[in-house]
Amino acid sequence: MTTQPDEIKVEVKNLTKYFGNLHVLDDISFNIKKGEFVCVVGPTGCGKTTFLNLLTRIYSPTRGDLFIDGESADPKKHNLAFVFQEPSAFPWLTVEKNLRFGLEIKKLPKDVIDERTEMIIKMLGLQELRNSYPHQLSVSSEQRIIIGRAFAMNPDLLLMDEPYGQMDVKLRFFLEDEVIRLWQELGTTVVFITHNIEEAVYMAQRILILSTKPTTIKEEVIVDLPRPRRFDDPKFVAIRNAVTEKIKWW
């Protein structure tokens, strides 16, 4: 993965959200470098999903803004791809057609669509499943479609909202490694929302710890560990414990 280490891809500036009188997010500001992998953690009910929905422009902020490459984020201009916890493969489309779908909506040239689709199919080992439908696949294979479809868009910002929350440990570990491999090879900028602190330490370059509502960023934690990471590495355990302490006492 080749990126410019100091190049700012995303700037979140004074992001604030009210729903009526409910103050959910309070003046959140941070930057994300191009190609950076950032995880967001926080206590239950702190507004993590609201935070993501503001980044995707599903909601509009009460105050503040999100900038991509110095411009206010606009889904019509920027590729804001996302992966949610619930299965979202189109059941009437094959694996290959699911992967092509977003690219065709964007009206990219056919040769670009063909090239990107083939790249993702090979990277995720879906060659033998390309003509299968989602209901014919295992849970992990179906989620690989969703992940691949998002990465195929070559997004300016990829947002992932607890995409493995309903899976068992073995499947989660497998898909975490798949995402890390795709991220390293494609250089995508990723914001990954999770309630699983161990998952955050395993995947992230940087962790943003959110407070309770009205939510602010309580702390940023740099995860400067080599990959592949080991759960029994004393440094891994120390970071996991430090992040846990920041959350459980709220």
pLDDT in tens, 111-156: 999 999 999 998 888 899 999 999 998 887 888 888 899 999 888 8
pTM of the predicted model over 0.75: yes
pLDDT at 81 over 80: yes
The sign of the dihedral angle between the CA atoms of 96, 120, 56, 138 is: positive
Per-residue pLDDT of 221-236, as tens digits, reads 999 999 999 999 999 9
What is the band of 6 on the pLDDT scale with cuts at 50, 70, 90? low
Q: Residues 103-113: what's their mean pLDDT?
A: 92
CATH 3.40.50.300 residue ranges of the chain are 8-79+155-248
Question: What is the CATH topology of the domain spanning 8-79+155-248?
Answer: Rossmann fold (3.40.50)
CA distances from 34 to 149, 173, 186, 206, 217 (A): 20, 25, 12, 13, 20
What is the band of 3 on the pLDDT scale with cuts at 50, 70, 90? very low
Amino acid at site 122: K
